Amino acid sequence: MPIFVRDNCFVLETPHTHYAFGVADGELQHIHWGEKCPRLDYTVPNYREEVSQHPASEFDKREYVPFGGTNYRECALKCTFSDGCRDTVLQYDSYTLKDDTLTVICKDRHYPLTVKLIYQVQEDSDVLTRSAEIVNTGNSDITLHKAASAQLHLPSRAPYTVLNFNGSWSTEFRKAEEVLTGGSVVFESRRGLTGHCQNPSVVFSQNATEDEGDVFFAALGFSGNFKISAERNFTGLTHAVIGLQDFDFSYTLHAGESFKTPPVYMGYTKGFAAMSHEMHRFAVEHILPVRFKNEPLPVLYNSWEATEFDVNEKDQLRLAKIAASLGCELFVMDDGWFGERKDDHAGLGDWFVNREKFPNGLKPLIDGVRALGMKFGIWVEPEMVSPDSDLYRKHPDWAYHYPTRKGNELRWQLVLNFTRQDVQDYIFTCLDELLTENDISYIKWDMNRPFSETGAENLENPQELWYRHTHALYSVVDRLRAKHPDVQFEACASGGGRVDFGAMHHFDMVWTSDNTDPVDRLVIQNGYSYLYPIKCMRAWVTDMNRTSRPTSLDYRFNVSMQGSLSLGGNLLEYTDEELKTCAKYIALYKELRPLVQFGKLYRLTNGRADRISMTQYVDKNRENSVLFVCTQPTTFFADRFVTIRLKGLCPDAMYRVQSSGEEFTASGGVLMHCGFHAKFTHAFASEIYRIKKLPEAQG
C-alpha cells in the first residue's frame, strides 16, 4: 500500500516521490513534496510566527485554505452559509483509507459543512491524483463561490520558474515562462471551454533542464472555465491553487448535497523529460477511455482542407479512393454534410443529412469507403446552433441567452444550453440515430466559439452553468460511447481549444491545432509534448502555406509522423510522385507507430529558439528508437554541422543507425555521450533516423 499513516502524518508514496502532510492544532499542514525520505520520519512543522500586520496564517502551508479569518492568500474554498456568514473554519476530523485512495475529512467548526480531500496513488507512477468533495450535511443551502481541486506548496523558498502553455487560435502551446519572484501569476479560462490562450496546467521548476533539476507539475482534468493561481509571498514560499474558475461561478449546495471538483494530476520529477514520460504513461494507463487506450490510432484522412463545406458523395469518394490507395485506414468527412450547411452561416443543430448533397443519404458514401478497406468518420459540432437553422427557429430558447440582449454570434453561431436535459437528449438522439443508421466508426466533435450572454433560465442558480455545461458534455459523450463502444471520439475546438485531461478522459484523442503549417507545428507539438500523450496528438500532413512557405512532402511527413499521423491535403491535386511519397511514409509510419504513440519522447532540442528540431522516441525495452530531425531557416555556413546525441538507449548495447543516406553501428554509450556528426545544408531539410538494438552476438 503506497499510503502510510504515521502518528499525525499522512505520506503518499510513489516509486520516486513522497507527498506528506499532517495535523497540527486541528489543521492540515503540508510537510513535503519531492524526493523520498526513506525513514518516513516526517514531523509537522511549527510555523507559529505572528506580527501585527502578518498573522500566523501567512507563514504556514495549509493543505486547503478556506476564505475567512486572516486568510488573505488565494483561497481554495469560499462559501456563504444560510445566515450570511462567509467565514469558513476547517478542522481536521478523520480519514479513510481504501486501496489506493486516502480521503481526509475536515469539518467546519460551527456549520454543517464537510470537506473531503481525496488523494489517489498508483503503484506504477509518480503522478498523484487529487480532488475535493464539499458536502452540505445540514438542512439549509450553502452557496459555494469557489471550490478548488487542490492547493500546492513548493518546498524551496527560492523563486521558481513558472511555465504555462499559452497561445491563441492557430498558435497553441507556446511555452510561456517567468521567474515568480513576488506577487502572483494566474492562468485561466473564462470562455466556457478550455480555450487556446492558456492551458489548465502549470509547471514549476528550479535549475531544470530536460534531464535534471526539480520539476513540479499539475494539470487539471476539466474542459471548461479553470483558474490556476500561483503566488510567492514575502516569506519566499510559493504556493498555488488549481481548479475551477471562480469568476462568475457559484453553486448552490442544497441540504444533503455534495459537490465534486475535477481531478488534478500532479507530480515531481528530475527534469522535464521524466515529467513528460510520467504524464504520457499515466494518461494512457489511467486517464484515457479504456476501450482504445492501448490500441495505436489509425492513420486517417480528413477532407476539411481539401473540400471545406463543399462535400458530396462523388468528390468525397474520389478523395477516399486515393486515401485508401496510400494506406489510410480511416476516412473522415468534415463539416458541410448536414442541414442547410453551405458555409458557416447556417445549419448547426440540424444533424440530418443534406439531401441535395447526398440524395441517397450517407450509405452509398460509407459503403464505398468501407469497400475500399477504410473505416468512416464524420464531423459534428453538437454544442452549437446556427440562428439560421430549423432547430433555432423551433427552439430559440435552447441557446444560452438573456431575453433583453442580442446574442453575440461568433462564426454566426450560438452556444446551446447543454445544462438543459431536453437539449442533451435532442443531441444524444440525433447522434445516436446517426451512429445507429450508419456504419460510422469515428466522431470528430468540434466546438468553435466561446460562450456569451450566459443566461440559463432553467437553472435555479444560473452561475452553475460553467460547471454543469462541461459535465453535460461529458455525459452525452459517455452515453454515446456506452451505446456505441466501438466508435472513437476526437475532441476538437477550432484546433487545440480542448486539449486537457478532462477531454482526454472522455475522448480518445484531440485535434491539436488548425495550424498545419509544419514549421509552426513543430513549436505547437513541442509545447503539447510536455504533458499530453503523443498518441492523442492528431497531426495532419496538408498543403497549408504550400506557396508562401514551401516545404517538401518529406518535411511535412516528418513533422506529422511525430504524432498520430493523418492526412488532410487535397489529394486530387497531388502528382504521382507525391502520392508515391505519401504511400512510402504511411507504410513507414505504420512500422514506427507503436514506438511513436507509446514510446518515451526525448526533446533533443527545444522549440523555436533552436535552429533545428530533433525529437526522439524510444520503446520500453530500449530496443527500437526513431529520431526526427527538421531544420529551420538558416543561412549560416556554421549552422550546417550538427552533433546528434541520442537519449534513452542501453549504454552497453550496440545499435544500428539508419537514415536515408547512411547506415552505421555504434554503442548506446557512444550514441548518447559522444554522439554522431550530421550535416544539413539547407533550410527545411529533414531526416528520419531509425535506431535498432543489435542482438548480443552481433554486438
State in angstroms the smallest separation of the CB of 477 from ligand GLA: 17
State in angstroms the smallest separation of the CB of 539 from ligand GLA: 13
Read off the amino acid at residue 424. Answer: Q
State in angstroms the smallest separation of the CB of 416 from ligand GLA: 16
Evaluated on CA atoms 75, 80, 83, 84, the torsion sign reads positive
State in angstroms the smallest separation of the CB of 5 from ligand GLA: 48
Q: Is residue 190 a contact partner of residue 541, using CB atoms and an 8 Å limit? A: no
State in angstroms the smallest separation of the CB of 29 from ligand GLA: 46
Q: Which residue number places its CB atom closest to ligand GLA?
A: 335
Tell me, yes or no, if 248 is annotated catalytic.
no
**Which of residues 278 and 350 has its CB atom nearest to ligand GLA in the complex?**
350
Eight-state DSSP code of residue 222: -
**Which of residues 334 and 383 has its CB atom nearest to ligand GLA in the complex?**
334
State in angstroms the smallest separation of the CB of 305 from ligand GLA: 8
DSSP 3-state of 693: strand
State in angstroms the smallest separation of the CB of 283 from ligand GLA: 22
What phi and psi, each to the nearest 5 degrees, are found at residue 44? Answer: -80, 120
**Which of residues 344 and 554 has its CB atom nearest to ligand GLA in the complex?**
344
Number of Cβ within 10 Å of residue 505's Cβ equals 20
DSSP 3-state of 669: helix
State in angstroms the smallest separation of the CB of 51 from ligand GLA: 55
Q: Is residue 544 a contact partner of residue 516, using CB atoms and an 8 Å limit? A: yes
User: Secondary structure of the chain: what % helix, strand, coil (to 5)?
Assistant: 25, 35, 40
DSSP 3-state of 422: helix
How far is the C-alpha of 607 from the C-alpha of 693, rounded, in Å?
29
Q: Which three cell numbers stand for residue 402?
A: 438573456
Question: Going by DSSP bridges, is the β-strand pair 251-253/238-244 parallel, antiparallel, or unpaired?
Answer: unpaired
Task: Kindly write down the DSSP assignment for every residue of 1-32, as one continuous string.
Answer: --EEEETTEEEEE-SSEEEEEEEETTEEEEEE
The residue annotated as part of the active site, out of 514, 517, 520, 543, is 514
State in angstroms the smallest separation of the CB of 52 from ligand GLA: 56
DSSP 3-state of 152: strand
**Which of residues 81 and 445 has its CB atom nearest to ligand GLA in the complex?**
445
**Which of residues 173 and 511 has its CB atom nearest to ligand GLA in the complex?**
511
Q: Which three cell numbers stand for residue 62?
A: 495549509
How far is the C-alpha of 681 from the C-alpha of 684, rounded, in Å?
9
How far is the C-alpha of 122 from the C-alpha of 14, rounded, in Å?
7
Paired with 377 in beta bridges are 332, 442
**Which of residues 259 and 304 has its CB atom nearest to ligand GLA in the complex?**
304
Give the footprint of ligand GLA on this chain (CB under 6 A).
304, 334-335, 379, 446, 448, 492, 494-495, 511, 514
Q: Could you tell me which residues come within 8 angstroms of residue 296 by beta carbon, excluding any fewer than 6 positions away?
A: 535, 593, 594, 597, 598
Give the closest residue to 174 by CA, choosing from 483, 504, 542, 525: 525
Tell me, yes or no, if 211 is annotated catalytic.
no
**Which of residues 388 and 446 has its CB atom nearest to ligand GLA in the complex?**
446
Evaluated on CA atoms 544, 546, 550, 555, the torsion sign reads positive
Q: Which three cell numbers stand for residue 63?
A: 493543505
The residue annotated as part of the active site, out of 126, 214, 446, 517, is 446
**Which of residues 77 and 378 has its CB atom nearest to ligand GLA in the complex?**
378
**Which of residues 492 and 604 has its CB atom nearest to ligand GLA in the complex?**
492
How far is the C-alpha of 64 from the C-alpha of 29, rounded, in Å?
9
Secondary structure of 470-503 in HEC code, one letter for each residue: HHHHHHHHHHHHHHCCCCEEEECECCECCCCCCH
Catalytic residues: 446, 514
